[in-house]
Structure 1
């Protein structure tokens, strides 16, 4: 375990070695898979970081089971594996303890921050959908999926981020948290259209595809050729605009969380919204390669956030 990880756990008063092991596993998952989220998490006070790692690590672990592309595994086998893991976690959730290190850390975070357990049930239900659902007729159908896959994660985070004294009621924070989770998720969908096609899934609403005269075969051809046609670019532009509206709706929530959490949230908001800029920079052709925010921009945004976060913690 690194010195940084040890300091975070000590600051959070997580001293049980078995519980620490679960938090360490979650931290490694966040560092490996959630580079933007991980950078943003580092802007939180040390005592809050392990809990955010736990939430991300849990979500990533579940997603990895569903998305396992091992050619030796059938969909039924993945579903069986996910079902067994889910049933075990829900039993642990009810009992309040777990033999699984990662689940042990998540249960500890739930207990410490009084996170509503039903948010995890909704998340797992959406993950289960990925095993059987390959498309969504309308945006409303997609939004119902994103409630469990993304919006609930924003709500899970709220107790940890805390509330600014001037923010008003806790209820006022709910909608910005929901919108930001959905903005992140929709951004992922747009960036990962090609990869999701390889998994047999399309997270673009059928009604949007129909609006611009695009069908599933057109997307597969774009995947093969690495080139998006004009109608496909129109589809992506339409959904980029929808995602930007979600970011605008979510932005007022940044000032509502506790001062020591605002730099984390602002950095995640800025870098993830920046993925949309990168999609537009390649003329909406997400089939030519995986777009990402450049290292230089990530360093500038995170570096500025780190300095401001230090100043806030030091003098607030």
Structure 2
């Protein structure tokens, strides 16, 4: 058992080292706010567009779109990339496309060197592309008519899996809110008026792809997906308190106070180390309660998706626990390869090196 873990870890680390050396501009685990700048995104969008237009059929266009989603996912989230390796190929491809569709607008808002007005305009254009994509029947036709591959791929996934348009519209509204952030009064305010659009609907995208188990309902899957999405978002908030503070954001609700009765969010926005540490702990503690709720509903999902969902739950709840135990307010917590392997299903380790070495 230990030998399998060590071998898998060595293969993964060797591959990532080689890939980083070959492409020094790309960071394969998110250690920086900016993995690709705007210019690189534009170049890659142009390249994938050419690849899609070279396809003669819809299945080829869909495969090209999935490869693009996989490239985005591998470049931005090694943890989620590992988790998705446990999905069946067709579901995995759909999840990769979804990831690209949520990653790009998030990068526009968080990392592109644009004025707030230009960021807003870019998100509006993206939303217009999504609405316009409904007029076309396939990915290639959408791309021929000026729809970005990322949007075209997502539209295709949404159609095939019955994902309502209102979910993606809600996601883009949450991205716009981050351009001019406002404080949230309570946990309920944060969940209903921000996390719903930024994370819950993404969980709903995935629930439609994963599908219910026999005897379960989509409603049960959506409830579990919502709880896990809230937990994941809160963990990300906890991990990024310092970075968000620099952007003028505090996601800790205004009614949360420290032991002296002071509003913690005020100190976070002022860059106070003690307040940042307190906010990190409060967010991670609240996240822990949502991981507990999410675990109760995982059995509602189809068995061929359940391993990946359980792996995701274990991986990120482990990260959340690490945040709670961290003593450094400047540290952006992450899991080592060995820590990731320790919570992933041992019987499926073989999928990790095979996927990382041979998928592109």
TM band (smaller chain) = 0.7 to 0.9
Deviations 1:139-161 (CA, angstroms, capped at 9, x unpaired): 22211210111111111111221
Q: Which residue of 1 aligns with 2:358?
A: none
Q: Which residue of 2 aligns with 1:38?
A: 81
Inter-partner Cα distance in structure 2 for 1:132 and 1:234: 24
Matched, 1:158 2:207: yes
- Within-5 A mapping of 1:137-216: 137-144=185-192, 145-166=194-215, 168-209=216-257, 212-216=261-265
Q: Which residue of 2 aligns with 1:280?
A: 324
- SS at the partner of 1:203? coil
State whether residues 248 and 269 of structure 2, in contact with CA within 8 Å, keep that contact through their aligned partners in structure 1.
no
TM-score by length of 2: 0.73
Q: Which residue of 2 aligns with 1:83?
A: 124
Matched, 1:300 2:342: yes
Could you tell which deviates more after superposition, 112-121 or 243-252?
112-121
State whether residues 72 and 100 of structure 2, in contact with CA within 8 Å, keep that contact through their aligned partners in structure 1.
yes
Give the direction of change, closer, same or farther, for the CA distance of 1:194–1:93 in structure 2 (3 Å limit): farther
Deviations 1:234-272 (CA, angstroms, capped at 9, x unpaired): 443333221111111110222111111111001110111
Shift of 1:305: 6.0
Inter-partner Cα distance in structure 2 for 1:173 and 1:16: 29
- Within-5 A mapping of 1:1-316: 16-70=59-113, 73-93=114-134, 95=136, 98-99=142-143, 100-144=148-192, 145-166=194-215, 168-209=216-257, 212-216=261-265, 218-219=267-268, 222=271, 228-229=273-274, 233-283=277-327, 285=328, 287-302=329-344, 304=346, 306=348
Shift of 1:119: 1.1
State whether residues 245 and 271 of structure 2, in contact with CA within 8 Å, keep that contact through their aligned partners in structure 1.
no
Inter-partner Cα distance in structure 2 for 1:128 and 1:96: 28
Deviations 1:272-296 (CA, angstroms, capped at 9, x unpaired): 111211112213x4x3221112211
Deviations 1:107-158 (CA, angstroms, capped at 9, x unpaired): 1111111112211111111111111224222222211210111111111111
Uncovered stretches (5+) of structure 1, i.e. residues with no partner: 1-13, 311-316
Q: Which residue of 2 aligns with 1:4?
A: none
- SS at the partner of 1:115? coil
Give the aligned CA root-mean-square deviation in angstroms: 2.4
Inter-partner Cα distance in structure 1 for 2:271 and 2:169: 36
Matched pairs, number: 287
Shift of 1:180: 0.6
Inter-partner Cα distance in structure 1 for 2:248 and 2:314: 30
Inter-partner Cα distance in structure 1 for 2:134 and 2:185: 33
Inter-partner Cα distance in structure 1 for 2:347 and 2:178: 35
- SS at the partner of 1:48? helix
Q: Which residue of 1 aligns with 2:35?
A: none
Uncovered stretches (5+) of structure 2, i.e. residues with no partner: 1-56, 353-360
Shift of 1:40: 0.7
Inter-partner Cα distance in structure 1 for 2:180 and 2:137: 30
Could you tell which deviates more after superposition, 42-51 or 94-103?
94-103
